[in-house]
Chains A and B, each alone.
Chain A
Amino acid sequence: MFNFLFKNKVRKYTFSGGIHPKENKHYTEECPIEKLPLPKIVYIPLSQHTGKIAKPILKVGDKVKVGQLIGEADGRISANIHSSISGVVKDLKELPHPLIFSRVLTYVIENDGEDIWEENIKKEFVEKDFSSEEIIEKVHKAGIVGLGGAAFPTAVKLSPPKEKVIDALIINGCECEPYLTNDYRLMIEKPKEIILGALLLKKALEKNSKNIRLIFGIEDNKEKAIEIFNSYKKEYNFEVYTLKTKYPQGAEKQLIKAILKREVPSGGLPFDVGVVVQNVGTAYACYEACYFDKPLFERVITVSGNGIKEKKNLLVRIGTPVKDIVNYCGGYVGEIKKIIFGGPIMGVAIYSEDMPIVKGTTGILFFNERDVLLEKEKDCIRCGRCVEACPMGLLPCELHKFIKKREFDKARDYSLLDCIECGSCAFACPAKIKLVQSFKFGKQEIWKKEKK
């Protein structure tokens, strides 16, 4: 009799802690991905990934094509860098970087307007079987890194140590940061491509492990995406997990916990519990790298925030400066106060409109005065909201107290190093204490001491 009550009931998974910020995805979730017109000049830093900076292999004055290798991965944890336009290398010098606070060796390439692609990039899709080695090789060559923001070289992630048996590959479609819709649009517009890419990632991992489960984890605010992926799951043999919309659901550890109930040990990696997590955008990039031999020189970003006139999802070439995007999106609204690379909770505020899009840029948010509340810090009132919000089970207010008193050993005993800097605590704090800033500082002090 009450069956109708349960008909639509889907089991939803989650983790403990976390916050519910206003999603603000409605601005762009219905905006199809548009191609940004090619920029006149691109700035391509040689470091866009976790690990060692790539080695430059071109000189000033050299001609380049789209997709041509211009920086070579240096060592095991590093990634190739490719040109994103065709034209001439104008300069190779140290320039400001959007994510790193020092200057980084950067190619300045001027567009010749021809958009000539490397010959070996294929034009058509041909079905094919790849071996694990082939896939890892192609992913490495294409310079693919984690596109969810972390920018860890994907080829490395696909080569876990031999003794680690992997039994699950999770494709992260949570996109738990407010405003961002780039992954969502990709899931809706290119589901099949993402699935093929995910199958390649799975195949790559099968070098050492058999019977790997392929799981898509998607937050329940993306109903359409869940529906689409569910419709493919029989055909391609994967699972779809519906996750509660809660920040930071997309953080690796929280995602694994929610889906598999496994906890990555303190100081450990997903490998340690037999899991690899990849972002949907990364899966798509792998699809392109394997079937088309297309290197990673463009990506989808979300452009949003009150400070920009037209909010969009854009396919942009890596190295495009922010101001080109501002121009394309109709300019600013009001006086712009903050530009953020990434989401509003973990993103990085940049100080110049000349900053280029890099591989790990998921979106750009423009905030005008109304959004940027620079509220004064007050003393902690011990309300415990930070404790409730912390997905890692830490006591943020206590950690902050120790760091303020420079008692770094105490902070360490209270597991400061387990903090994932997700910002949930600072978001929730009514005293507006800059907790994340404090924790970054505290960690640096601990590491400094350790080096000595």
Chain B
Amino acid sequence: MNEKLIVSISPHIRSDISVEKIMWSVVWALIPATIGAGYFFGIRAIVLIIISVVTALISEYICNLIFKREISIFDGSAVITGILLAFNLPPQVPFFIPIIGSFFAIVVVKQLFGGLGYNFLNPALAARAFLVASFPQTMSASYTAPYYGTISGFDTVTQATPLSAIKNTKIMGTPEDLEILLDKATSWESLKNLFFGNVGGCLGETSAILLLIGAIYLLIKKYIDYRIPLSYLLTCFVLSLIILPIKRFPNYHIFQILSGGLILGAFFMATDYVTSPITKKGRIIFGIGCGILTMLIRHFGGYPEGVSFSILLMNVATPLIENYTKPRVFGKK
């Protein structure tokens, strides 16, 4: 008998993919948008992101020790949570906000439920919802214009992000005001600003192009499944065709896709493995659900944008969706 021979159950080869590899790749994919945040909102934005990431790592480490779990700060998942939380904050929030947010995300949403793989809500989004509920003033009044543009991306007067400008005018302005505003908002100039990120908004959500660079990398590497973002964006687009006047087609409809953190949400948050369905069909339904909720909240609800709440709601529905989308077992039925 040869003592050195390893006897283990098959398979004896494994694919070279690992949890770390996937998580760190997501971190890399978020780097373009991180740099963008620095470019548009200044060094303060980078400081906010770093504070958020460091808090996430420290919280993760402390939880590892307290719960006597394996040290998991190197697997990249806490870094992702830190970056995503910061991406969902307005540029002018005080520094204690990312500290509280990150701590909440890691400790309450992730580790108290058992760590990576056991949480049922997206940690960054749940923490953001917690912050919005706890510090409504700070969270809604901390927007600023990017260095090279205006906060709305089309108007120097308005003191809000593109979507909230429209919402506010809808509620308080006259129909004529709204028309004028929409004309500006859906101009090609405005869309260009949205695409490149030259508008006000949360740190990481403004630049569609920088987010897409990262997303395409993840899609090519198959680290995220195309089903969720595709069905999510398509649903939003189709619903916008139904809800919105066709007269501004296609600008107003493209505007819907590019604004309000939809790109960030669809590619980087709705695709979170842990909190989205494991089945293929389930993922499509998840994306459609997110899309419907987002458009309902935007156009009929109280908030100007609905991406994060939609995804959180669909997180809750995930077990149910999975249960109804089990694949057909070979040779059955």
Chain A neighbourhood of B277, CB < 8 A: 384
Chain B neighbourhood of A336, CB < 8 A: 2, 4-5
Does any Cβ of B come within 8 Å of A431's Cβ? Answer: yes
Across the interface, A349 reaches (CB within 8 A) one of B7, B117, B278, B332, namely B7
Does any Cβ of B come within 8 Å of A271's Cβ? Answer: no
Across the interface, A381 reaches (CB within 8 A) one of B117, B279, B330, namely B117
Alpha-carbon distance between A263 and B329 when the two chains are bound, in angstroms? 10
Chain A neighbourhood of B273, CB < 8 A: 381-384
Q: How far is the CB of B269 from chain A (nearest CB, A)?
A: 15
A383-435 contacts to B, CB under 8 A, are 383-385, 387-388, 390-395, 397-398, 414-415, 418, 421, 423, 426-432, 434
Q: A263-B330, A352-B5 are in contact. Are A347 and B10 (CB under 8 A)?
A: yes
Q: Which of A82-90, A164-172, A221-229, A371-379 is near enough to bind chain B?
A: A371-379
Q: Is the CB of B11 within 8 A of A395?
A: no
Q: How far is the CB of A26 from chain B (nearest CB, A)?
A: 16
Q: How far is the CB of B225 from chain A (nearest CB, A)?
A: 7
Chain A neighbourhood of B326, CB < 8 A: 395, 414
Alpha-carbon distance between A395 and B325 when the two chains are bound, in angstroms? 11
Q: Is the CB of A392 within 8 A of B12?
A: no
Chain B neighbourhood of A432, CB < 8 A: 14, 18
Q: How far is the CB of A45 from chain B (nearest CB, A)?
A: 17
Interface centre among A337, A384, A391 (most CB of B within 10 A): A384
Does any Cβ of B come within 8 Å of A264's Cβ? Answer: yes
Q: Which of A28-36, A58-66, A338-346 is near enough to bind chain B?
A: A338-346
Q: How many A-B residue pairs have CB under 8 A?
A: 162
Does any Cβ of A come within 8 Å of B299's Cβ? Answer: no
Q: Is the CB of A266 within 8 A of B332?
A: yes
Alpha-carbon distance between A390 and B280 when the two chains are bound, in angstroms? 13
Alpha-carbon distance between A264 and B330 when the two chains are bound, in angstroms? 8
Does any Cβ of A come within 8 Å of B301's Cβ? Answer: no
Q: How far is the CB of B26 from chain A (nearest CB, A)?
A: 12
Alpha-carbon distance between A432 and B18 when the two chains are bound, in angstroms? 7
Q: A338-B12, A373-B14, A379-B117 are in contact. Are A253 and B331 (CB under 8 A)?
A: yes
Does any Cβ of B come within 8 Å of A367's Cβ? Answer: yes
Across the interface, A415 reaches (CB within 8 A) one of B12, B116, B278, B329, namely B329
Does any Cβ of B come within 8 Å of A265's Cβ? Answer: yes
Q: A379-B118, A383-B273, A426-B11 are in contact. Are A266 and B4 (CB under 8 A)?
A: no
What are 9 contact pairs spanning A and B, CB under 8 A? A338-B8, A349-B7, A381-B22, A384-B273, A392-B329, A393-B329, A427-B13, A428-B15, A432-B18
Beyond A336-B5, A390-B327, A427-B11: 5 further Cβ-contacts under 8 Å?
A372-B6, A381-B274, A415-B329, A428-B17, A440-B9
- What are the 7 tightest A-B residue pairs by CB atom distance, in nearest-first order? A423-B11, A384-B278, A437-B9, A379-B117, A266-B331, A393-B327, A345-B11
